[in-house]
Chains A and B, each alone.
Chain A
Amino acid sequence: PHSRPRHPGARTMLPLLLLLLATAHGLDKLQYVPTLASPSLGGLMTTSTFVLEQPRCVFTEAQGDAVIWLVVAVPEAIANFNNSVGPGTPERAFQSFPTRAPAYMTLNTTLLNYPCPKPPGELTVLRVGSETRCARDETRPTCNGPLPSPGPYRVKFLALEGSKPVAETAWSEPITLRTAQPPGSILAMGSGRSAGMIALTSILSILFAILLAGLVAMLVFWGSDACGGSSTFNKPEAVTVQRYNTHHVYDQTAARL
């Protein structure tokens, strides 16, 4: 009996087999990385919501009947993330996130809502965290509720056919939301004295002091009734002195005659 010669590519057979197994399971790993929308949006990131670009032209007809879900997870849950855990289970319920469920699934839609190609000039975004009514409703585990803390979070899109994952995108970069400062931290003190105000105050004070000095001088002169000088003038008299002859003078001349 002769031994069978070893196949030269035996070492490459194993990974090839594994790849075949994966594709046989049907999970497409797409290269697309979910990104935030354009920074021109004022509400791109708030303290409890953020806005993603829609995954247009990412999923193809191969996933035609699939339902595309958005998965939001804390970064620690990425390593052991199990795609087969379905949405709506307690492990993926929004209301248990992030304490009892490390990830949740929401914003489910079919490929029809992500038509390709993207029409130019149209805003194609997804607002994560916009549904507030169901945030505490345990019967709605796929609620798109506001995020409870500033994060960071990582997201990906997962296409499920029934309960079987058929395609997924890559995980996004960590997204950290805004944190709000308390208003007490605002310093509301005045900006100090402006130059105009200092000039105004000093000039007016000096002028007032001069006037007061003048008033004091006036009162002193009024009291002492002095300082005539050659340049004083007489105010126009209301009564003029007239020369008149008294009857006494007439009597005298009459007496002489």
Chain B
Amino acid sequence: MAKSGDGIHILQGLLVFGNVVIGMCGIALTAECIFFVSDPHGLYPLLEATENDDIYAAAWIGIFVGFALFALSILGIFGVIKSNKTLLLVYVILMLITYAFEMASCITAATHRDFLTPNLFLKQMLERYQKSETVNNNDKWMTEGVTKTWDKLMLQNKCCGVHGPSDWQMYMSAFRTTHSDADFPWPHNCCVMDARGSPVNLDGCKLGVPGYYNSNGCYDTISGPMNTQAWGVAWFGFAILCWTFCVLLGTMFYWSKIEY
């Protein structure tokens, strides 16, 4: 049965190769999710204040799933080479559990990305930025997070508001209750700053003279990294799962062909 033996050897080789790829992708997934969880753009406080930070939960799950995939791929390679039915059965069951977790992570990331719209951040900014009377500790924590994040965003990215400085004029806000409209048509962080961090021309900024204030909105700098994170977790995870599906089907077929 040389021909059948060759076929089985080819299947063995393919399964080993498939598991090697799964192992490497597992490490890549872990690295990617650690990068996202470390929040390089400092946008986590905004998500935390929406009380819906599930794309971060998806990234956390991704870290552990990546490790699990790596470990299980080694088990799989070992089981295929040894042609051990028990080992391969354990491998398949554990892989399916990992598969379920990774599926949850992908779907969560994709679903909650749809939740993050400009209006969500606009409402949050108007209600929380520089809010002076906070109800409890949780409220205080979220308000401070939002205020610091927006101050940093407006300074570093030279932008103002979500759609533009007109956000501060079109809507009432917590900021407006403590800062009068005549002195602060928009926060002073919207002004063009000099090297020492004070406005180049405060009157020009208040008048809205182009060149002395930032007239573009910050939404792109918020949604860009968040989209990258959500799509990165969701679609890379989807790709890994498709590949894992093929490897698992192959493993099940191989398992059924082993005879004690």
Contact with B along A176-198 (1 / 0, CB 8 A): 00101111011110111110110
Q: Is A129 an interface residue (CB 8 A)?
A: yes
Q: How far is the CB of B163 from chain A (nearest CB, A)?
A: 11
Q: Looking at the complex, which of B18-26, B93-101, B137-145 is the stretch in contact with chain A?
A: B93-101
Q: Are B207 and A51 in contact (CB under 8 A)?
A: yes
Q: Are B209 and A41 in contact (CB under 8 A)?
A: yes
**Distance in angstroms between the alpha carbons of A235 and B86 in the assembled complex:** 14
Q: Are B120 and A188 in contact (CB under 8 A)?
A: yes
Q: Are A197 and B114 in contact (CB under 8 A)?
A: yes
Q: How far is the CB of A207 from chain B (nearest CB, A)?
A: 5
Q: Chain A interface secondary structure, helix, strand, loop or mixed?
A: loop
Given contacts A207-B242, A207-B245, A211-B249, contact A43 B185 (CB under 8 A): yes
Given contacts A130-B206, A180-B176, contact A196 B110 (CB under 8 A): yes
Given contacts A41-B207, A192-B114, A211-B248, contact A233 B238 (CB under 8 A): no
Given contacts A42-B215, A187-B119, A201-B107, contact A130 B170 (CB under 8 A): no
Q: Are B8 and A233 in contact (CB under 8 A)?
A: yes
Given contacts A182-B171, A204-B106, A207-B241, contact A43 B248 (CB under 8 A): no
Given contacts A132-B180, A208-B100, A231-B4, contact A190 B208 (CB under 8 A): no
Q: How far is the CB of A246 from chain B (nearest CB, A)?
A: 28
**Distance in angstroms between the alpha carbons of A43 and B248 in the assembled complex:** 63
Q: Is B257 an interface residue (CB 8 A)?
A: yes
Q: Looking at the complex, which of B35-43, B54-62, B122-130 is the stretch in contact with chain A?
A: B122-130
- Chain B's closest residue to A229 (CB) is B257
**Distance in angstroms between the alpha carbons of A145 and B171 in the assembled complex:** 22
- Chain A's closest residue to B128 (CB) is A183
A contacts with B, residue count (CB < 8 A): 58
Q: How far is the CB of A95 from chain B (nearest CB, A)?
A: 15
B residues near A132, Cβ cutoff 8 Å? 180, 182-183
Choose among B126, B181, B210 the residue that contacts A47 (Cβ–Cβ < 8 A): B181
Q: How far is the CB of A127 from chain B (nearest CB, A)?
A: 6
**Distance in angstroms between the alpha carbons of A231 and B6 in the assembled complex:** 12
Q: Are A180 and B171 in contact (CB under 8 A)?
A: yes
Q: Are B110 and A180 in contact (CB under 8 A)?
A: no
A residues near B172, Cβ cutoff 8 Å? 180-183
A residues near B181, Cβ cutoff 8 Å? 46-49, 146
A residues near B260, Cβ cutoff 8 Å? 235
**Distance in angstroms between the alpha carbons of A205 and B238 in the assembled complex:** 11
**Distance in angstroms between the alpha carbons of A221 and B46 in the assembled complex:** 53
Q: Is B169 an interface residue (CB 8 A)?
A: yes
Q: Are B257 and A232 in contact (CB under 8 A)?
A: yes
Contact with A along B103-120 (1 / 0, CB 8 A): 100110011011101011
For the A-B complex with A49-B181, A190-B117 known, give 4 more contacts whose Cβ atoms are closer than 8 Å.
A42-B209, A180-B172, A212-B96, A214-B248
Chain B residues packing against A (C-beta within 8 Å): 1, 4-5, 8, 83, 85, 89, 92-93, 96, 99-100, 103, 106-107, 110-111, 113-115, 117, 119-120, 122-123, 126-127, 165-166, 169-173, 176, 180-183, 185, 203, 206-210, 213, 215, 234-235, 238, 241-242, 245, 248-249, 252, 255-260
A-B contact pairs, 28 of them (CB 8 A): A42-B213, A43-B185, A47-B181, A49-B182, A123-B207, A123-B209, A132-B183, A180-B170, A181-B171, A183-B127, A191-B114, A193-B114, A194-B113, A197-B111, A197-B114, A200-B110, A204-B241, A208-B100, A208-B103, A214-B249, A215-B252, A222-B89, A228-B259, A232-B258, A233-B258, A235-B83, A235-B259, A235-B260
Chain A residues packing against B (C-beta within 8 Å): 40-44, 46-49, 51, 123, 125, 127, 129-132, 145-146, 178, 180-183, 185-188, 190-194, 196-197, 200-201, 203-205, 207-208, 210-212, 214-215, 217-218, 221-222, 227-228, 231-235
